[in-house]
């Protein structure tokens, strides 16, 4: 099986920013060919763990829909004014 480990769950628990969360998720996926563990949905999402952790910086795991006037507007939305 390809389940998330206790060490990986602890790594997620330590996240204090969106950047740390992205880095932890990338590390978890990198050992599985860029896929999430088989039990990710049940152990991370459905338990509320993900929303509890993301809430530390005012975020959540809900899908958000956005519309954009053009490609430049989309890029600005994705990357901010830095692009």
Q: Which two tokens stand for residue 2?
A: 């390809």
Confidence (pLDDT) at 77: 87
Those residues of the chain that have pLDDT short of 50 are: 83
Q: What pLDDT does 83 receive? A: 44
Query: What is the rounded distance in angstroms from the CA atom of residue 59 to the CA atom of residue 54?
Result: 5
DSSP character at residue 80: G
- pLDDT value at residue 5: 97
C-alpha 30/C-alpha 9 separation (Å) is 15
Residue 82 has what pLDDT?
Answer: 58
Classified as helix, coil or strand, 81 is: helix
Residue of 58, 61, 64, 27 whose CA lies nearest to 44: 61
Give Rg (Cα) of the chain: 15
């Amino acid at each position: 099986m390809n389940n998330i480990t206790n060490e990986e769950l602890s790594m997620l628990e330590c996240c204090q920013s969106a950047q740390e969360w992205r880095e932890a998720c990338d590390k978890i996926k990198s050992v599985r060919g860029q896929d999430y563990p088989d039990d990710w949905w049940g152990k991370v999402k459905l338990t509320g763990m993900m929303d509890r952790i993301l809430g530390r910086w005012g975020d959540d795991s809900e899908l958000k829909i956005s519309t954009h006037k053009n490609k430049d507007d989309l890029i600005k939305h994705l990357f901010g004014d830095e692009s």
